[in-house]
């Protein structure tokens, strides 16, 4: 469809909206609010403009799925301030994440990647939307499902790919693997293999911000399975007691390994599970809704109101890890249905098309460029060397060469080998 034809289609859409709160939009579709947007100019006139000073185009989009609040008087608006550039950017990032995870799947099956490997495809909107509301001065800590979190924090596809293959160019010099992405300079404190372990670490990061009087927030991301872990409640208690600036993000992908949430949680309303901690349930497949929820939460935390829980309603397409085909505890129809109705990458693409932000050929060009980036990262990771054996002890905190430790017998000591 030409840009002109789409634009006349949009005019029709606007007219339809002006006339009715039409059922034309089902509950998963974004509603386009207003282009150009009205705002007050410095001379006190109401001015129509769609251009920002940098040539970007301002947009306001109504996200269709309502935020559901717990212990929050004024939940965030359904209307999200965004821009053409931001939407294209989110699509580009989400598309690249998707490609990277699919490449990882292939590499795993051809044995270039070994060991644990948990893929994030399906959940991309959570990281992409989150990063639009935070800065890299804010801290993030997550679970073992961390490849895309690393990319969101500005890490490169090569750092992820090489880490997956145990190569020296990896985020952790190839010594950690899939669960151990890490990027200190962007305040990304890694993936964690122990379910829930990141939640008290997040409280510690938030404590540091409060102690140093820094206007930043810590984010601890955990799964629906981890939501039943005791340490989360201990950490939340402390965070709430001390009003720590932390956003607890429950990525509810509806399964903990092969166990559906209804079979593992007495209450699968994870946004309420902080009890005295405010919470919001968010459509975690909608990057704009995610951004809005994080913007709201960061303001909440930095203003001194303490922690908040965001339940992201999301879905993982792959099995729990590469050893799980992911099809024994759920139906193929369920997976296909989510792909068709809620896919986060397709939603962003649709937004670009519906608003006529790019021509279809321009979208194709973005996809091609991102595929090339991933392909090049795979090639470079394969060419990257393995870490040399002296790296095995390089990150030890203590030089143990002259240290003796007590044995089972209190009077005998042994050298550390």
For ligand TPP, the binding residue among 76, 166, 190, 225 (CB under 6 A) is 225
Q: Does 159 bind Mg ion (CB under 5 A)?
A: no
Closest CB 324 distance from ligand TPP, rounded Å? 10
Decide: is 191 part of the binding site for ligand TPP (CB under 6 A). no
- Please tell me whether residue 224 binds Mg ion under the rule CB under 5 A: yes
Q: Output phi, psi for 101, to 5 deg.
A: -70, -35
Which ranges of 176-260 would DSSP assign to H, the alpha helix? 198-211, 230-241
Residue 344 tokens read as 């986060």
Hunting for tokens 């595929």 — which residue is that? 371
Three-class DSSP category at 406:
strand
319 binding Mg ion? (CB under 5 A): no
- CA of 364: how far to CAs of 72, 131, 359, 371, in Å? 42, 24, 9, 11
Q: Does residue 223 belong to the site contacting Mg ion (CB under 5 A)?
A: yes
Q: Please tell me the distance from the alpha carbon of residue 69 to that of residue 307, in angstroms, as a whole number.
A: 14
- Distances in Å between the Cα of 170 and the Cα atoms of 154, 178, 219, 377 are 14, 10, 23, 11
Contact between 198 and Mg ion by CB under 5 A: the answer reads: no
76 secondary structure, DSSP code: P
Minimum distance of Mg ion from residue 223's CB (angstroms): 4
Binding of ligand TPP at residue 250 (CB under 6 A)?
Answer: no
For residue 69, the SS3 value is strand
Q: Is 283 in the site for ligand TPP (CB under 6 A)?
A: no
* Segment 226 to 285, residues that bind Mg ion, using CB under 5 A: 253, 256
> What is the distance between the alpha carbons of residues 115 and 160, in angstroms, rounded to a whole number?
15
Q: Is 374 in the site for ligand TPP (CB under 6 A)?
A: no
User: Among 58, 99, 273, 320, which residue interacts with ligand TPP (rule: CB under 6 A)?
Assistant: 320
Which 144-163 residues touch ligand TPP, going by CB under 6 A? 145
Binding of ligand TPP by 325 (CB under 6 A) = no
Residue least distant from ligand TPP (Cβ): 223
Among 119, 226, 288, 374, contact with ligand TPP (rule: CB under 6 A): 226
State which of residues 103, 113, 127, 195 lies at the interface with ligand TPP (CB under 6 A): 195
CB of 312 to ligand TPP, least distance (A): 11
Judged on CB neighbours under 10 Å (0-12, 13-18, 19+), 364 is exposed
223 counts as binding ligand TPP under rule CB under 6 A: yes
- Phi first, then psi, for residue 361 (nearest 5°) are -65, -35
Pick the piece of the chain touching ligand TPP (CB under 6 A) from 7-15, 30-38, 209-217, 250-258: 250-258
Count of residues that interact with ligand TPP, criterion CB under 6 A: 14
Among 149, 172, 198, 253, binds ligand TPP (CB under 6 A): 253
Closest to Mg ion by CB, 253 or 384: 253
Cβ distance 222 to 314 under 8 Å? Answer: no
Task: Write the Ramachandran bin of 115: left for phi over 0, alpha for psi from -120 to 50, otherwise beta.
Answer: left
Q: Is 142 in the site for Mg ion (CB under 5 A)?
A: no
Residue 181, SS3 per DSSP: coil
Interaction between residue 128 and ligand TPP (CB under 6 A): no
Measured distance CA(203)–CA(71) in Å, rounded: 20
Which residues contribute to the site for ligand TPP (CB under 6 A)? 143, 145, 193-195, 223-226, 253, 255-257, 320
Which residues contribute to the site for Mg ion (CB under 5 A)? 223-224, 253, 256
């Amino acid at each position: 469809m030409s840009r002109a034809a789409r634009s006349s289609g949009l005019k029709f859409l606007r007219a339809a909206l002006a006339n009715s709160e039409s059922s034309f939009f089902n509950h998963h579709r974004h509603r386009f609010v207003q282009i150009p947007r009205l705002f007050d100019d410095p001379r006190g006139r109401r001015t129509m403009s769609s251009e920002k000073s940098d040539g970007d185009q301002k947009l306001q989009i109504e996200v269709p799925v309502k935020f559901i609040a717990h212990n929050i008087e004024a939940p965030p608006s359904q209307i999200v301030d965004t821009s053409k550039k931001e939407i294209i950017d989110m699509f580009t990032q989400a598309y690249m994440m998707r490609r990277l995870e699919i490449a990882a799947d292939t590499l795993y099956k051809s044995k270039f990647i070994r060991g644990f490997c948990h893929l994030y495809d399906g959940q991309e909107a959570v990281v992409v939307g989150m990063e639009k509301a935070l800065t890299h001065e804010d801290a993030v800590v997550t679970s073992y499902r961390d490849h895309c979190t690393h990319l969101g924090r500005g890490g490169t596809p090569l750092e992820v790919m090489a880490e997956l293959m145990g190569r020296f160019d990896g985020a952790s010099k190839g010594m950690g693997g899939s669960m151990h992405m890490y990027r200190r300079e962007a305040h990304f404190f890694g993936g964690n293999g122990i379910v829930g372990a990141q939640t008290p670490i997040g409280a510690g990061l938030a404590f540091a911000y409060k102690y140093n009087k820094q206007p930043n927030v810590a984010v601890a991301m955990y799964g629906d399975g981890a939501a039943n872990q005791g340490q989360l409640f201990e950490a939340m208690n402390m965070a709430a007691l001390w009003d720590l600036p932390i956003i607890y993000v429950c990525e509810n992908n509806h399964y903990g390994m092969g166990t559906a949430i209804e079979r593992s949680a007495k209450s699968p309303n994870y946004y309420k599970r902080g009890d005295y901690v405010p919470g919001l349930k968010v459509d975690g497949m909608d990057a704009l809704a995610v951004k809005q929820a994080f913007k709201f939460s960061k303001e909440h935390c930095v203003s001194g109101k303490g922690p908040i829980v965001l339940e992201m309603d999301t879905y993982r397409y792959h099995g729990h890890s590469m050893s799980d085909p992911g099809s024994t505890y759920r139906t193929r129809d369920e997976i296909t249905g989510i792909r068709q109705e809620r896919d986060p990458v397709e939603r962003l693409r649709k937004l670009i098309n519906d608003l006529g932000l790019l021509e279809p050929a321009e979208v194709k060009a973005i996809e091609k460029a991102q595929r090339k980036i991933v392909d090049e990262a795979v090639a470079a990771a394969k060419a990257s060397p393995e870490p040399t054996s002296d790296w095995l002890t390089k990150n030890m905190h203590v030089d143990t060469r002259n240290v003796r430790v007590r044995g089972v017998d209190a009077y005998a000591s042994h050298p550390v080998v």
